[in-house]
Amino acid sequence: MGFSRQEYWSGLPKGCQGPSLGLCARSSGETRLNKEKIIQGQGIDEPLSETGFKQAAAAGIFLKDVKFTHVFSSDLTRTKQTVHGILEKSKFCKDMTVKYDSRLRERKYGVAEGRPLSELRAMAKAAGEECPAFTPPGGETLDQLKRRGKDFFEFLCQLILKEAGQNEQFSQEAPSSCLESSLAEIFPLGKNCASTFNSDSGTPGLAASVLVVSHGAYIRSLLDYFLTDLKCSFPATLSRSELTSVSPNTGMTVFILNFEKGGKGRPTAQCVCVNLQGHLAGVNKTP
């Protein structure tokens, strides 16, 4: 990943007394239209291809030991099938209820949906613009997409803060260290994860570990929101092009969010990895 396993955790704020959230965002598996470079957006509800199902299964095996507390997904077919493929491989989350949310849908491309990517680029060139900034007729602007992502993210934060407050009110037990330790097993979070998130260090454990399954352009927009609005800290080894590229099929992006006590103000966001693809090394693509 370009930085040591302990480097990330040593940078976490020690004085933060509010809850922390682990957020794993990932794009859907491959569809036939992905392979053929056809724009799907929201209007073309294509199922996963054979390769897409393999990618979802590979992602599930990679995440099988992670103890998610919440799972959200776009309500389009390709993301529903992806999240099912992930959870069926899980040791702990097989029976978890998935919350499908239309706010997690892919960017709407209007008249370009169902057409080759080359036609979208030609439309942008004719308008004197470039992709992805170009918005085809009937499509969703980047600002509209970003606002939709922000709306979901703020909803998620309020949900976690509310649940964390209820847990604090009705139980004196600290959040289970199994959440962060399960993340640390597969992501570069540091071997001493459990000792970092405990009462002795003054930093609470993760209040929640959330899996979000969405789409490539949507996750790119979410990254832009984290970078420009939340001033998220990203690994120094990441280039600007990596931060602005479309997430590949089942690519994983992971954040740790730290809230102030009482949930006031925006959370402090730190990125662990962007568009991780190592889990796909053994996936054989169909001809």
Per-residue pLDDT in tens (0 to 9) along the chain, 287 residues: 232 323 333 333 444 447 888 899 999 999 999 999 999 999 999 999 999 999 999 999 999 999 999 999 999 999 999 999 999 999 999 999 999 999 999 999 999 999 999 999 999 999 999 999 999 999 999 999 999 999 999 999 999 999 987 765 434 444 445 677 777 777 765 433 333 333 344 445 688 999 999 999 999 999 999 999 999 999 888 888 888 888 899 999 999 999 887 666 789 999 989 999 989 987 855 44
pLDDT at 199: 36
Query: In this predicted structure, what is the pLDDT of residue 177?
Result: 52
Is 240 labelled a binding residue? no
Specify the pLDDT at position 85: 97
Per-residue pLDDT at 47? 98
Using CB atoms within 10 Å of the CB of residue 277, give its burial: 0 to 12 exposed, 13 to 18 middle, 19+ buried: middle
List Cβ neighbours of 201 (8 Å cut-off, separation of 6 or more). 14, 195
At residue 262, the pLDDT reads 66
- Tell me if 109 is assigned to a ligand binding site: yes
Binding site annotation covers 106? yes
Question: Which value, to the nearest 10 degrees, does the dihedral of the CA atoms of residues 284, 272, 218, 230 take?
Answer: -170
Cβ-contact 21, 269 below 8 angstroms: no
According to the annotation, is 115 in a ligand binding site? no
